Structure 1
Amino acid sequence: MSYEKLAKEIVHLVGGEKNVVSLVHCATRLRFVLKDEAKADKEKLEKTEGIITVKQSGGQFQVVVGNKVPEVYSAISKVSNILDESKKDEKPAKANKGFGAIIDVVSSIFAPLLGVMAGAGILKGLLLIASNAGWLTPKDTTYIILLAAADSLFYFLPLLLAVTTARKFEGNIFVALTIAGGLLYPSIVTLKTEGTPTDFFGIPIVMMSYSSTVIPIIIAIIVMSKLEKWCNRLIHESVKNFITPLILLVIMLPLTLIVFGPFGVYVGNGIATGLIAAFGFSPLLAGAIMGACWQILVIFGVHWGLVPVFINNIAVNGRDGIKPSAAASIFAQTGAAFGVMLKTKNKKLKTLAGSATLTALFGITEPAVYGVTLPLKRPFIAGIIGGAIGGAIIGQAGTQAFASGAPGLLTLPIFYGPGGQGFPGLILGISVSFLVSAILTYILGFEDPVEAEESPENSTKEPAHTTDVSNEEVFSPIEGTVVSLSEVPDPAFASEAMGKGVAIEPTSGKVVAPFDGTITVAFKKKHALAVVSPKGAEILIHVGVDTVKLDGKHFTSHIKEGDQVKAGDLLLEFDVEQIRAAGYPTITPIIVTNSSAYSEILPTTKGQVRVQEPLLKLFGGTNEKEGIA
């Protein structure tokens, strides 16, 4: 599927571009804010090729597409007007409140910076290794130039955060940049470094160092954006384009230096001190909790609340001892996905788990978590256990992060500090996390899905033939009235796209085996099953239309995949009246899914039929229409 085709499908399924208030992306997710989330078709999105899963968290409608997200995001800008500035005044039908609003703000501000932040972090880590190994010294001009490239993002972080915060709160980006620049202006920096007593019209100012800080500029630009809107309402149209920026600069820079700056620095330092104290009290326990919980926080999107803390710790202390334990969680889920790849016999899942393992090794875990371990449940739990063990090792080793970046193989250098202290503990911790999770996944096992789609009505793929077909007779698995497939209110069945056969309007709620054979598909939601005969006939029995939406309610299954059954054995029970009362047709297609293997398929009964009465005759290959076995 091309990126533009996928982009069009996503825009359509989120309710159209008129339903989109804003869109940003992080490393793996398209983060939509929608006017009305009820208009988005989450179920169809999750079944769309190219989409891993969909999450609704923190006031955002998050479409997880993996590491191809920049290409899909770019394609959306080409096929729609979602990213146009003209949409900035649109609002969601329901505004986010409380914790959800905080997460929305933090993720919107930091998500655009993750890519460059990871790249800069890797370069900074490599320079640390080069310096410790004696390959380069801090006085070498090569080192100085590369350090400028690696460290400039972090030194000028207030400038970057000014841009993303102004975008989020619809403020003037250039005024925001100017205010951030004022905090880093050389003469302002000199007042701090030289300890010069400072005041503004007699109001004393506690000077702070604002390079690499996070909270002060975010608070300042949020307030600036509110003040800007108020000024634009009051100031005449003819002069507001230069009077409003004048007012903002005159008010906001002094106000930030007097109030927001010191407050933000003290708050950031307080949070950092508290978390460091927790690790100081019991680094083993704190590391275990972080290693176990990090991926759970990611699932709900609340990990964003810790990102500013990590960055602030590095800015204030030059290092962060909290983030390293999160690496254990990432490598644990990677190991769990690897365990699934080794264990599964499903070719599609094996391929998915293999690619997800490779992606997760580089810090992108969404394909592994949403596509593999979380749906299978037990592998995800194995990952939590492995993450807790590895996190405890890393916490106890006192590993530190010296730059920002998502933990992965490429970003391991960010954890290598002076003398390499704590780095061996990191390597041991992530290795143990990976191995424990992989082994536990293999031992605990999981319900291995069959080679079929969850909803057969959404697929035209025929199962692989296990044997050459021959003439055969199929007996009715249901009692009721035989009708043509064309009467089924579902085009996938009515058009015979799924295969030839008949449909039965049931008069009783029992499904029996139409012949001796093997159950090849037993859908989790119990609404359908597939059985194959020794002669090669592959029969799909799908009770009702859209009954997958009942999620198994009103159905009782008596079989599992791989069961050997005899003709007439009870396979499934369903409550006809309750299904109809719920608004779903009970007409049941009986489909020969490998119809192309037969020269002809003929119904043998019209009108009423009882179970085990002849229903279909299948003629294999070029065989004559006689001698049915």
Structure 2
Amino acid sequence: MATSPAADIVSAVGGAGNIESLTHCATRLRFQLRDASGVDQKAVEAIPGVMGAVPQAGDRFQVVIGGGVQNVYNDIMALPGLTGGGGAVDEDDIDSIKARERAKGVRGQVAWIDGLFEFLSDSFRPILGALLGASFFITFMALMATLNVIPDWNAPGVTLEPSWAFVNLMWQCIFVFLPLMVAYNATKKVGADPWVGFGVMAVLMLPGFSALKAEATPQQVFGSEVFIVPIFGFPLTIFDYSSQVFPPLLMAAVMGPLYKLLRRIITANLQLIFVPFFAMLIMIPLTAFILGPIGVYVGAWLAQALAAINNFSPFIFAIIIPLAYPFMVPLGLHWPINAIMLLNIQTLGYDFIQGPMGAWNFACFGATAGVLVLSLRHRDTQMRQTATGALAAGLLGGISEPSLYGIHLRFKRIYPRMLVGCFIGGLTIGLGSLILGLPNGVTTQAFVFTSLLTIPAFDPIGLYTIAIALAFFTSMFLVIWSNFRTPEQQAEFEAVRDAAEAKAAAEHVKPAAIEEAEGRAFDASDRPATAAAAAAAATAPAPTAVLDRLAIDVRAPLEGKVVPLSEVPDPVFAGGVMGPGVAIEPTGDTVHSPGPGTIAAAQPTGHAFGIVLDGGLEILIHVGIDTVNLKGEGFDVKVKNGDRVETGTPLVKFDRAVIEKAGYPLVTPVIVLNADDFGKVSPEAEGDVKPGDSLLWVEPKDA
């Protein structure tokens, strides 16, 4: 089965799991690997499209691609295990972003805590789609009640006509049987048979189990009505386990170790029958008598604790929740809160957390909208695609993860602006609750995802709408006003973007003298009578069919002494990996254009320039070795990406003293990047040269 060069490169460096981060410069992929000791340099260099490989210290590894590095980088980032195509992440994939955020706190440093939150996350994540779908049915029912089409569908004692009762069942099917879904996922997470976990929890939800309370006296515990009946002399507490999530989580947490124990003590040929049997024999009574009630009581206690805070001051609660969520979600701390929301609805008939949480979500979506506006303004195609998808997922689905992991955690300027939006939204809910005399703040009678479509589920709808709108537009305008990139990041992005646009323009530009160029026929072994004649023929760009029959004279870009590439103290240039050419030991301090053409890449640091000469020849001028580390110090750049230049146009002036003091060689390679598209590349000069002298002669490719 054929594979792509991108997949071959990833495989050759040890697979996606061995890649800690990946960046790229104008010509090279720069890998930070977890372990570079096993990478076979020759195998990497044998991959089609790879021009060379350079192992470096500290598990760093460079793969030289040339001018097409951006395309290869995008292909790699689209591979499974890295990122999705439209939202490729520049330095970290989503998993590494999550890991980095976890490492900031106790999670990622204490194994059992990390395992706990992974357990919670994996118990809920697979059913989010079902919960989201059900939340839309709930919102629809709430909207119908608001419009007086149906009575208050969720109020006690209300009976709906059969048609609307059937619609109501569409969401109840998810929430009534939620404990079974959680039990399945949680048991699977701990390595036990998920269907056994499902069966154990199902016992507590059978109509016959609930019927056991007929002879018992109801009691109130943490706001929940419970019934206790004697079973073989032991007290069995009967609950309505619908929508409960803590009991199945506790059940799965105990079943995991039990399953491992049973597999150790029961021989392999009997495990299929007796491991599930003994697991059910032990776990059904244990869950019914002990774990189930503990789960109900713990959940009720947590819910009551949060309710007490909200009852004490809905104003403070409304501000704390949206300000806390941006930090809770990356750490996975929001999963227990989701469980408490469900419990609130079951025990109280409403939830008071989701309203303030909506302020956080819409502040998050507003920041994404600001990024989308800037990406359109900056002609940032990749970010536009990422932000569009994330904004759609947020506004229509109430899902924050695409925004959070795809954008916000990658650009640290966003978080402070988003927090202002969170504060404004929470403050609005808090003040509104005080003014309107709402003892519980903004509430909802159902578990919903806070999106545009679920606004009707909140009460009062007006206060909630104003709060989320303020949160959204505050974050949006702050991001637009201040940008989500730092000035350095913006300059780097514009350099890459302008280079790509300039190259595309150069490849499609039409010549001014096609007819004259077509009249000149060159064989691969012939030259025009003079270099001036060839330069004149190449003054205007020509289409590919004509370029194949033209030769190009590359002029010296600076004053100095010509030396062979083999003397350049860099293995990539010295080995000709980037392409053929020569180098110049400069005696001057200004780099000029080696011919008429377009600037394809003018690095903000001034250390390197890519030029597409008229005729399609791609030239790289690299001023010094490792001078990128100076970060622009000592370089005065004269051009920008997309500029039209003529022979001798100044590109950059550099301060020799700064470079020499830093200890970097000044030798400047002049490389033909796309030599494969042409014929022989021959040096034209030896010894001293001045700007404008013939330096390289590039012959046309054989027909």
* 5+ long unaligned stretches in structure 1: 20-35, 63-93, 581-585, 622-629
Is 2:438 the counterpart of 1:403?
A: no
| Cα distance, 1:360–1:233 mapped onto 2, change above 3 Å | same
Among 152, 157, 160, the alignment partner of 2:178 is: 157
- Match for residue 340 of structure 2? 309
Q: Is the 8 A contact 1:512 1:570 kept in 2?
A: yes
Is 2:453 the counterpart of 1:422?
A: no
Aligned residues: CA RMSD: 5.2
- Match for residue 472 of structure 2? 434
Deviation at 1:603, TM superposition (A): 4.8
Q: What is the DSSP-based 3-state SS (H/G/I as helix, E as strand, rest coil) of the residue aligned with 2:235?
A: strand
Map 1:14-163 to 2 at 5 A.
Answer: 48-49=77-78, 50=85, 52-53=88-89, 54-56=93-95, 97-137=111-151, 138-163=159-184
CA distance in 2 between partners of 1:479 and 1:98 (Å): 65
Among 337, 360, 363, the alignment partner of 2:394 is: 360
Deviation at 1:358, TM superposition (A): 3.5
Among 183, 187, 194, the alignment partner of 1:166 is: 187
Q: Which amino acid counterpart does residue 185 of structure 1 have in structure 2?
A: L
Map 1:218-237 to 2 at 5 A.
Answer: 218-237=249-268
- Match for residue 290 of structure 2? 259
CA distance in 2 between partners of 1:382 and 1:561 (Å): 35
- Match for residue 624 of structure 1? none
Q: Is the 8 A contact 1:512 1:568 kept in 2?
A: yes
Deviation at 1:122, TM superposition (A): 1.1
Deviation at 1:465, TM superposition (A): 4.0
Q: Is the 8 A contact 2:251 2:287 kept in 1?
A: yes
Is 2:592 the counterpart of 1:514?
A: yes
Is 2:209 the counterpart of 1:209?
A: no
- Match for residue 66 of structure 1? none
CA shift digits 1:1-47 (9 cap, x unpaired)? xxx9899799959966999xxxxxxxxxxxxxxxx976999997996
CA distance in 2 between partners of 1:285 and 1:108 (Å): 32
Q: Is the 8 A contact 2:554 2:694 kept in 1?
A: no
Deviation at 1:60, TM superposition (A): 6.8
CA distance in 1 between partners of 2:391 and 2:11 (Å): 31
Q: Which has the larger radius of gyration?
A: 2
CA shift digits 1:346-369 (9 cap, x unpaired)? 342563344543343233444444
Map 1:575-594 to 2 at 5 A.
Answer: 590-591=670-671
In terms of mean alpha carbon deviation, does 382-391 or 611-620 score higher? Answer: 611-620
| Cα distance, 1:519–1:383 mapped onto 2, change above 3 Å | farther
Deviation at 1:164, TM superposition (A): 0.4
Among 302, 307, 310, the alignment partner of 1:271 is: 302
Deviation at 1:424, TM superposition (A): 1.7
In terms of mean alpha carbon deviation, does 274-283 or 164-173 score higher? Answer: 274-283
| Cα distance, 1:230–1:151 mapped onto 2, change above 3 Å | same
Give aligned-pair identity as a percent: 24
Q: Is the 8 A contact 2:179 2:201 kept in 1?
A: yes
Q: What is the DSSP-based 3-state SS (H/G/I as helix, E as strand, rest coil) of the residue aligned with 1:530?
A: strand
Q: Which amino acid counterpart does residue 404 of structure 1 have in structure 2?
A: F
Q: Which amino acid counterpart does residue 427 of structure 2 have in structure 1?
A: A
Is 2:367 the counterpart of 1:323?
A: no
Q: Is the 8 A contact 2:502 2:600 kept in 1?
A: no
CA distance in 1 between partners of 2:5 and 2:344 (Å): 40
Q: Is the 8 A contact 1:390 1:429 kept in 2?
A: yes
Deviation at 1:479, TM superposition (A): 7.9
Q: Is the 8 A contact 2:590 2:650 kept in 1?
A: no
- Match for residue 412 of structure 1? 455
Is 2:218 the counterpart of 1:175?
A: no
Q: What is the DSSP-based 3-state SS (H/G/I as helix, E as strand, rest coil) of the residue aligned with 2:592?
A: coil
In terms of mean alpha carbon deviation, does 143-152 or 111-120 score higher? Answer: 143-152
Deviation at 1:432, TM superposition (A): 1.1
Deviation at 1:212, TM superposition (A): 0.8
Among 502, 515, 536, the alignment partner of 2:581 is: 502
Q: Is the 8 A contact 2:200 2:280 kept in 1?
A: yes
Q: Is the 8 A contact 1:338 1:357 kept in 2?
A: yes
CA shift digits 1:311-349 (9 cap, x unpaired)? 333333333222333332332233223333334323425
| Cα distance, 1:484–1:576 mapped onto 2, change above 3 Å | farther
Give the aligned length: 550
Q: Is the 8 A contact 1:478 1:512 kept in 2?
A: no
CA distance in 2 between partners of 1:110 and 1:14 (Å): 35
Q: What is the DSSP-based 3-state SS (H/G/I as helix, E as strand, rest coil) of the residue aligned with 2:238?
A: coil
Q: Which amino acid counterpart does residue 381 of structure 2 have in structure 1?
A: K
CA shift digits 1:546-596 (9 cap, x unpaired)? x7xx9x75655446797699455128966899889xxxxx99754567999
* 5+ long unaligned stretches in structure 2: 19-32, 40-58, 62-72, 79-84, 102-107, 152-158, 218-226, 433-440, 512-538, 541-552, 644-648
CA distance in 2 between partners of 1:169 and 1:489 (Å): 51
Q: Which amino acid counterpart does residue 391 of structure 2 have in structure 1?
A: T
CA shift digits 1:50-99 (9 cap, x unpaired)? 1534144799799xxxxxxxxxxxxxxxxxxxxxxxxxxxxxxx997132
CA distance in 2 between partners of 1:555 and 1:614 (Å): 30
- Match for residue 188 of structure 1? 209
CA shift digits 1:242-272 (9 cap, x unpaired)? 3333322232122122221222122212222
Among 387, 390, 398, the alignment partner of 2:422 is: 387
Q: When the two structures are superposed, what TM-score results if normalisation uses the length of structure 1?
A: 0.70
- Match for residue 505 of structure 2? 464
Q: Which amino acid counterpart does residue 464 of structure 1 have in structure 2?
A: A
Is 2:384 the counterpart of 1:351?
A: yes
Deviation at 1:111, TM superposition (A): 0.8
Q: What is the DSSP-based 3-state SS (H/G/I as helix, E as strand, rest coil) of the residue aligned with 1:260?
A: helix
- Match for residue 22 of structure 1? none
Is 2:609 the counterpart of 1:530?
A: yes
Q: Which amino acid counterpart does residue 298 of structure 1 have in structure 2?
A: V
Q: Which amino acid counterpart does residue 281 of structure 2 have in structure 1?
A: V
Deviation at 1:105, TM superposition (A): 0.9
Q: Is the 8 A contact 2:506 2:612 kept in 1?
A: no
Q: Is the 8 A contact 2:638 2:650 kept in 1?
A: no
Q: Is the 8 A contact 1:485 1:589 kept in 2?
A: no
| Cα distance, 1:141–1:175 mapped onto 2, change above 3 Å | same
| Cα distance, 1:177–1:519 mapped onto 2, change above 3 Å | same
Q: Which amino acid counterpart does residue 450 of structure 2 have in structure 1?
A: P
Q: Is the 8 A contact 1:334 1:361 kept in 2?
A: yes
Deviation at 1:298, TM superposition (A): 3.1
Q: Is the 8 A contact 1:482 1:609 kept in 2?
A: no
CA distance in 2 between partners of 1:390 and 1:523 (Å): 42
